[in-house]
Structure 1
Amino acid sequence: MIEIKDVRKTFGILAVLKGINLDVNKGELLCLIGASGSGKSTLLQCINGLEPIQGGEIIVDGISVHDPKTNINMLRRKLGIVFQQYNAFPHLTALENVALAPRVVAKRGRKEARALAQKHLDHVGLGNKADSLPSQMSGGQQQRLAIARALAMEPSYMLFDEVTSALDPELVGEVLETMRLLKSEGMTMVVVTHDINFARESADRVAFLHQGEVCEIGTAEEVIDNPQKEQTQKFLRREKRKPLEVA
């Protein structure tokens, strides 16, 4: 379980998170929606310990993420994170990219790490791309490679930060389908997304963030189809006016 208690985050004089309170339950897919600058991506990075916080506490499986005594590198093994940019090593094959962290960080043997990498490439539908370089793969394939690389550390939680926003519309569907697969297998996920249809169809709960605060949270039916707060209603009206993406 992830517990977020009164979390505050500032960049200089700019308050980005203003007392966030959220729980993420085991097996849940929680979607974070909101306008750019509302704090969604920053919150993910705070959960993973990539950004310090100025107040409050984030607890993952009973461990306080930002406690100076916490071994953050060990804790991050529980928290796979996938960003908008793929960040694959261009000189390594897909198999080598996925096997690297298990071999270097988890100290798996070379043979074991490669077998694990092949398993996760198969899992995300890239089994036939093991020997391909990232430059030989489409954007959607590279994003699925990033997901396989995160899964190779066998995390308890997956954090996704706008993973389809850099993709051409026709490639979005294959990445979202991989995320739906993980949900069906019981993976606990926190997903920052601009794809309202994905949030409506796949999320157990949706949280709408506005100016660093959780403005509204509930089921997709409650937040997306029947929002109660004016700011949520305005945001969703703007989103509906945008061109539809292929999902």
Structure 2
Amino acid sequence: MIEIKAVRKSFGAIEVIRGINLTIERGEVLCLIGASGSGKSTLLQCINSLEPIQGGQIVVDGIDVHGKSTDLNKLRQKLGIVFQQYNAFPHLTALENVALAPRVVKKMPRAQALELAREHLDYVGLGARADLRPAKLSGGQQQRLAIARALAMKPDYMLFDEVTSALDPELVGEVLDTMRNLKATGMTMIVVTHDIAFARESGDRVAFFDRGTLCEVGPAKQVINEPREERTRQFLQRVLN
């Protein structure tokens, strides 16, 4: 599991995460919702140790993420992360992009890495586009490429940071379908999203963030349909209306 214990994070004098406690169980899909700047994306980066924390502790499968002796390269193999921006290498084909990390990080032989990459491109529906470079792919296809690239490292957990927010509306569905398929395999997922319908239908739990605090967390349909906190209610009314 992932345990977040009294975590605090600041950028200079600005505290963006204020003592958050949260546990994510194996096999769970947790959706993080809230206004921009509420700390959701920063928390994902803290979980993956892309950002340091100023207080508290984050533990992944018993490993202290920010411990001085923690092997971050080994830890990050447990944690796949997909961002808003696709960040594919433009000079490599889709197949080469997905095969790169297994070859470099896991020292996998080239032929084996390419076979693995093809399997993951097939999984996200890009098998027919394996030999294309990213510039020849649509935004939705590039985002699915990013998911395939993360999955190729065989992570135990997947972190998604607003992966559909930069896409044209007609491309959002194909990415969300890929995430739904991933949920069906039992993958543990933490999803930062502005798509309330996806959070309600595909999340096991929803956590509402407000100004760096965890305002409310509970079963997805309960939090979205019948929020207990007034601040959650106000946010959802504004977003849904």
Q: TM-score, normalised by structure 1?
A: 0.97
Q: How many residues align?
A: 241
In structure 2, distance between residues paired with 1:121 and 1:130: 7
In structure 1, distance between residues paired with 2:23 and 2:115: 35
4+ residue runs over 4 A deviation:
none
In structure 2, distance between residues paired with 1:198 and 1:116: 29
SS of residue in 1 equivalent to 2:67: coil
Q: State the shift of 1:221 in Å.
A: 1.9
Is 2:235 aligned against 1:208? Answer: no
Aligned 8 A contact 2:201 2:221 in 1:
no
CA RMSD of aligned residues (A): 0.5
In structure 1, distance between residues paired with 2:16 and 2:67: 21
In structure 2, distance between residues paired with 1:33 and 1:240: 13
**Residue number in structure 1 paired with 2:26:** 26
In structure 1, distance between residues paired with 2:16 and 2:73: 25
Is 2:161 aligned against 1:174? Answer: no
The 5 Å alignment of 1:122-141 reads 122-141=122-141
**Residue number in structure 1 paired with 2:93:** 93
**Residue number in structure 2 paired with 1:245:** none
In structure 2, distance between residues paired with 1:115 and 1:27: 27
In structure 1, distance between residues paired with 2:123 and 2:156: 16
Which amino acid letter does the alignment assign opposite residue 158 of structure 2? M
In structure 1, distance between residues paired with 2:108 and 2:220: 41
- Show CA shifts across 1:63-93 (max 9, x none): 0000010001110000000000000001100
Q: State the shift of 1:204 in Å.
A: 0.2
Q: State the shift of 1:237 in Å.
A: 0.8
SS of residue in 1 equivalent to 2:73: helix
SS of residue in 1 equivalent to 2:6: strand
Q: State the shift of 1:222 in Å.
A: 1.5
In structure 1, distance between residues paired with 2:47 and 2:21: 12
Question: Structure 2: which 5+ runs fail to align?
Answer: none
The 5 Å alignment of 1:87-126 reads 87-126=87-126
In structure 1, distance between residues paired with 2:117 and 2:134: 15
The 5 Å alignment of 1:141-152 reads 141-152=141-152
In structure 2, distance between residues paired with 1:22 and 1:141: 33
Please identify, of 186-195 and 228-237, the stretch whose mean Cα deviation from structure 2 is larger.
228-237
Which amino acid letter does the alignment assign opposite residue 183 of structure 1? K
The 5 Å alignment of 1:6-85 reads 6-85=6-85
SS of residue in 2 equivalent to 1:171: helix
Q: State the shift of 1:220 in Å.
A: 1.4
Q: State the shift of 1:228 in Å.
A: 1.1
In structure 2, distance between residues paired with 1:38 and 1:53: 16
Of all paired residues, the percent bearing the same amino acid is 71
Which amino acid letter does the alignment assign opposite residue 123 of structure 1? Y
Q: TM-score, normalised by structure 2?
A: 0.99
SS of residue in 1 equivalent to 2:173: helix
Which amino acid letter does the alignment assign opposite residue 209 of structure 2? L
